[in-house]
Structure 1
Amino acid sequence: MLKGVPKILSPELLKILSEMGHGDEIVIADGNFPSENYGNRVVRADGHGGAEILDAVLSMIPLDTYADCNFMLMQVVPGDRVKPTIWEDYKKIANEKDGHVKLGSLERFAFYERAKQAYAVIATGESAIYANIILKKGVIQ
């Protein structure tokens, strides 16, 4: 056990966050995301929501201040009549944990392709739709 580490972060996820370098990306995926199809490394966080995982991850890593976009949401598919309320929770957490949020979004299939290149995918049990995000890791100072 370590001091100051959120208990929600498994040893496997801590290892992955430690291995990541500046500019590497990590996906926090909702329960509907095809994590095993798109993730090079998949860490299971079943039973945990996206917001609590985001809060814990951002307590360990900063966002990339050099990137044009360091916090990417999956866009709503045209024709879907939903407004993902979890996005406001995500933005609030990110702004509280890291003052350098540069928000962006990607079309669904572009998001999937970007996820293939990510260092890892965290597969949560989040039930909110469009609750997938990609974070770009910054420099630890």
Structure 2
Amino acid sequence: MKKSTLINAELSYLVATLGHTDEITICDAGLPIPDDVQRIDLALTHGVPSFLETVKVMLSESQVEGIILAEEFKEVSPAHHDALIAEISAEQEASGKAISVTYLSHEAFKARTSSSRAVVRTGECTPYANVIFQAGVVF
């Protein structure tokens, strides 16, 4: 049995096969997922697993060089937005690598998900609790 944090087989495989600049979307329960993008559905019920729990696990297993957020996230759900930014800041300090933050309109964000290698759906029910991770390199 795998000993590290991430034990979900689909997510573990996805992280292991990412290349530099590949994108993964982690989303709330309501974000529309394009038909042609792999869906990894973790949602069990409202709030389980949460967006931030999922983000923390993904950050523990993958190198991220940039994130993309909807502009509306910081305005409509500021507590969740600030908690995400705090996690990103902690990851920057731990890794010693900068992580860029880009904001798009929610409509542009939804369109951008079609470029993701996969969309990971959580049980989160907080509006705009979505992020696109851009894969970095560990060297």
Distance of 2:41 and 2:19 partners within structure 1: 21
Separation (CA, whole Å) in 1 of partners of 2:130 and 2:84: 10
| Counterpart for residue 74 of structure 1 | 70
- What is residue 105 of structure 1 aligned with on the other side? 103
Contact 2:77 2:126 in 1 (8 A): no
Residues matched between the structures, number:
130
> TM-score w.r.t. structure 1 length?
0.84
**What are structure 1's unaligned runs of at least 5 residues?**
65-69
Q: Secondary structure at the match of 2:99?
A: coil
Instruction: Compute the RMSD of aligned alpha carbons.
Output: 1.8
Residue 3 of structure 1: CA displacement?
A: 1.5
**Counterparts in 2 of 1:41-120, with a 5 A limit?**
41-46=38-43, 47-64=48-65, 70-76=66-72, 82-99=76-93, 100-120=98-118
Q: Is the 8 A contact 2:77 2:127 kept in 1?
A: no
Change (3 A) 1:38 1:136: farther
In the alignment, the residues of structure 2 paired with residue 107 and residue 117 of structure 1 have an alpha-carbon distance, to the nearest angstrom, of 16
Aligned residue number for residue 124 of structure 2: 126
* CA shift for structure 1 position 83: 4.1
On the 8 A contact 1:71/1:135 being kept in 2, the answer is: yes
Deviation of 1:38 after TM superposition, in Å, equals: 5.6
Identity of aligned residues (%): 25
- The Cα shift of 1:84 comes to 3.1
Higher helix proportion (structure 1 or 2):
2
The verdict on how the C-alpha distance between 1:114 and 1:38 changes in structure 2, with shifts beyond 3 A counting, is farther
The secondary structure found in structure 2 opposite 1:125 is coil
Q: TM-score, normalised by structure 2?
A: 0.85
TM-superposition CA deviations, 1:50-82 (whole Å, max 9, x none): 101110001111112xxxxx11111219xxx73
